[in-house]
Amino acid sequence: MARYWTDDVGPAWVSENDRLDARLVPLTRVLVDALAIEAGEAVLDIGCGGGASSVEFAREAGSTGRVVGVDISPTMLGAARARPATAGAAPITWLEADAQTHAFDAGAFDAIGSRFGVMFFDDPTAAFRNLRLALGDEGRFVFLCWQEPRANPWFFVGVDELRELIEFPEAPEPNTPGPFGLADASRTHGLLDAAGFSSVEIEPVSIEMPFSGSVDEMVQHLMMIGPIGGALREVAGQADKTGIVKERLRGVVEAMANEGGLANSAAAWLARALP
């Protein structure tokens, strides 16, 4: 997973960081509101990626608080470290580590949050147990994870129309590490219970994922990340195939724009737990 986010998909995600952050603004707001960070608190951001969620946590914690953004990928953390400091916000420490095994100081954090960073653990129970130990007695753990693939058409725009042109990998088995690794809310509830958390609550969140760019920008976006980006990396260097894919995908995106815009439905789970 470290190699995947550092060498395989990490550079592509960094190149699309601004667009991704813009699309995730509504969900980031849901997470920040649920965490209810108070001034002066210490906050840990799991799988912080390019750092957008950490920056929001730092604004809430204020100058007397502190935030630690942890990610396994130095590529993603490079983008996070390049972010300018925000006046009046808590200082942010960027930590390259595996949150499943890293020895955080016991009880060091008032709140732990994650915007789609907890679905990739090899052993979710062990990871959640490790994070519970990092929470203070009055702390809380709140995270977002994706619901099942069919509830998230935004992730698969153009895939069906491109299957005859490029080969997509088989869908992973349910409950395996990946974007939809925690799609089963009942299982996730059980994992948090097994890790020792209490007062576990998991609720659905449904939104429209906005996209404010042009058709060409949307095409570029889809060709860099998600299943289409992954499939194209497998045929890297085949300019003829890439050109055909781009032309076909542009037709798909133009049809979307003509039908009322480039927003797509998205569905997540908002999980809350106490130590």
Specify the pLDDT at position 4: 65
| Cα separation, 135 vs 29, whole angstroms | 22
Give the pLDDT mean for 238-244.
76
Q: What is the per-residue pLDDT across 199-218, written as a single tens digit (0 to 9) for each? A: 999 999 999 988 888 999 99
Count Cβ atoms below 10 Å from residue 234 Cβ, excluding itself. 11
Q: Which of 120, 55, 114, 122 is nearest to 89 (CA)?
A: 55
pLDDT greater than 80 at residue 235? no
CA 146 to chain CA centroid, nearest Å: 9
Task: Please report which confidence band the pLDDT of residue 169 belongs to, taking 50, 70 and 90 as the band edges.
Answer: confident
Q: What is the per-residue pLDDT across 98-114, written as a single tens digit (0 to 9) for each? A: 999 999 999 999 999 99
Integer angstrom CA distances of residue 87 from 62, 84, 119: 9, 9, 32
How open is the CA angle 231-144-180, to the nearest 5 degrees? 35
Question: How does DSSP assign 233-268, residue by residue?
Answer: HHTTT-HHHHHHHHHHHHHHHHHHHHTT-S-EEEEE
* pTM, two decimal places: 0.92
* SS3 state of residue 117: coil
Integer angstrom CA distances of residue 12 from 126, 167, 202, 225, 228: 29, 19, 31, 6, 12
Q: Which of 35, 101, 32 is nearest to 274 (CA)?
A: 35
Domains in the chain (CATH in brackets) are: 2-149+172-210+265-274 (3.40.50.150)
| 32-54 b/e (C-beta count within 10 Å ≥ 16 → b) | bebbebeeebbbbbbbbbbbbbb
Q: What is the per-residue pLDDT across 3-35, written as a single tens digit (0 to 9) for each? A: 666 666 778 888 888 999 999 999 999 999 999
Give the pLDDT mean for 233-241.
70
pLDDT greater than 70 at residue 183? yes
* Residue-averaged pLDDT of the chain: 92
Give the pLDDT mean for 48-68.
97
